[in-house]
Structure formats: structure tokens, C-alpha cells
């Protein structure tokens, strides 16, 4: 459990680092124009020189300036926090064993509803192989998911509550609780997820999970 907590803290720190805010200088002119960039030179009571991201250079007279501010970078302010903040929630995940108590390999799919960007609920089903006995089983479960931040990158917590149904030579079937921790992030049209799952059933397993929601 301590290793799981440490790995979650690592994922959370990485996500916050990836989503760290960037700022730029913004000059608002009295004529209504707005210039965003980096102020490179200032002549007291006379003018300011600002360089924009496209390489342009503007020299603004102090008398023409309404105000000067430092704001979050324009492109990030208008980026979509979630590709799909509300509505149908579909999630496909692959499970692979870790070197620490990992045992399962397989795929699962969840169909449900994203109530708000930070919370989704659904029903999942899949097919997995267990390396301990070589058997196949089908997890059927209720899936609860919370993304902590309404941002393009966020730590998440998920909880699966259900039953592992034996399919072929599987001896560890029964009720299952599977919390997982990790990071979700926008990639194109999808919301990707990368994390660790602790499966608590007749077995205790720590598996790696990667997937995408749509």
C-alpha cells in the first residue's frame, strides 16, 4: 500500500508539472488593442517594447497605454479542459501485470455517463488472463471515476465494484474491489488514462492500467 501511495504522489506531481501555468505580459491600449508577449525594454515615462510569440516587435508610447497586466498564456486559457466534459462516457482499458504482485493481462470496457468533468459512472465488462493459474475470467463491475481537476491533465481516482466470473480454469473468482490511481490527460479527441490498480479479491494484485475514454 505504501508503494501505491508513493506512486500516486509521483503521478500527481507529474500531472501538476505538466499542467503548470505559463504567463505573458499583456499591454492594453486606449484604442482597444491588446498586445500579448514579453516586455523586453522600458523607457520610463516614454515607451515600452514588447515582443510577441510570432516574432513581432511593438513599441508602445506610455501615453497610449491604458494598463499593463501579466496573464495566463492565451492558448492555454482557451484550451478545452476536457474533450467531453459531460454526456456519454465510454472507457477502454488494458491491464498488464507489474513486477510487484501483478498477475492479470486483458482488456475491459465501460459504458456510462459523465455527470460533470470531475465525475463519471458506468458499468464495465472485460476478459482477462491470470498468470497464476493460466485461467481466463470475465470481470463485471460498477465503475466510479473522479478526475480531481477540470484541466487537460489531472490526477484521478477510480473504483470498480463487482464480480470476477470464471471462464476457463480460473480458481480465484468471486467478489472484487479494485481502486486505482493515476493521471488522465487529453490526447486529440480522447482522454487518456495511465495508472495503477489494486485488485482485492481472493487474490491481492497490483496491476498497470492504460486506456482512453470517449
DSSP assignment letter at 64? G
How many Å apart are CA 117 and CA 86, to the nearest integer?
A: 6
Question: pLDDT of 58-67, one tens digit each?
Answer: 999 999 999 9
pLDDT value at residue 78: 44
Architecture of domain 2-18+81-213: Beta Barrel (2.40)
Write out the three cell numbers for 50: 514588447
Average pLDDT over residues 180-191: 90
Q: What ranges do the domains of the chain cover?
A: 2-18+81-213, 23-72
How many Å apart are CA 14 and CA 23, to the nearest integer?
A: 20
Percent of the chain with pLDDT over 90: 63
Burial class (CB in 10 A: 0-12, 13-18, 19+), 45: exposed
Same fold, 2-18+81-213 and 23-72: no
CATH topology assigned to domain 23-72:
SH3 type barrels. (2.30.30)
Q: Which of 76-80, 103-107, 115-119, 136-140 has the lowest mean pLDDT?
A: 76-80
How many Å apart are CA 199 and CA 182, to the nearest integer?
A: 15
Question: pLDDT of 17-69, one tens digit each?
Answer: 544 557 889 999 999 889 999 999 999 999 999 999 888 899 999 999 999 99
CB atoms closer than 10 angstroms to residue 76 = 15
Amino acid at each position: 500500500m505504501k508503494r501505491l501511495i508513493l506512486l500516486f504522489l509521483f503521478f500527481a506531481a507529474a500531472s501538476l508539472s505538466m499542467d503548470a501555468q505559463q504567463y505573458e505580459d499583456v499591454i492594453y491600449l486606449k484604442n482597444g488593442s491588446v498586445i500579448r508577449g514579453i516586455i523586453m525594454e522600458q523607457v520610463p515615462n516614454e515607451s515600452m517594447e514588447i515582443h510577441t510569440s510570432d516574432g513581432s516587435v511593438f513599441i508602445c508610447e506610455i501615453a497610449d497605454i491604458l494598463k499593463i497586466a501579466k496573464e495566463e498564456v492565451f492558448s492555454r486559457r482557451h484550451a478545452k479542459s476536457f474533450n467531453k466534459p459531460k454526456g456519454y462516457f465510454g472507457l477502454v482499458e488494458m491491464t498488464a501485470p507489474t513486477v510487484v504482485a501483478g498477475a492479470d493481462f486483458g482488456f475491459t470496457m465501460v459504458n456510462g455517463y459523465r455527470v460533470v468533468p470531475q465525475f463519471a459512472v458506468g458499468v464495465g465488462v472485460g476478459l482477462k488472463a491470470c498468470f497464476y493459474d493460466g485461467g481466463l475470467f470475465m470481470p463485471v463491475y460498477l465503475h466510479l471515476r473522479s478526475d480531481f481537476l477540470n484541466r487537460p491533465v489531472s490526477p484521478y481516482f477510480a473504483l470498480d465494484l463487482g464480480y470476477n466470473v470464471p471462464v476457463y480454469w480460473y480458481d480465484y473468482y468471486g467478489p472484487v474491489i479494485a481502486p486505482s490511481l493515476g493521471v488522465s490527460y487529453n490526447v486529440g479527441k480522447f482522454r487518456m488514462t495511465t495508472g495503477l490498480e489494486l485488485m482485492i479479491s481472493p487474490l491481492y494484485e497490483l496491476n498497470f492500467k492504460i486506456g482512453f475514454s470517449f
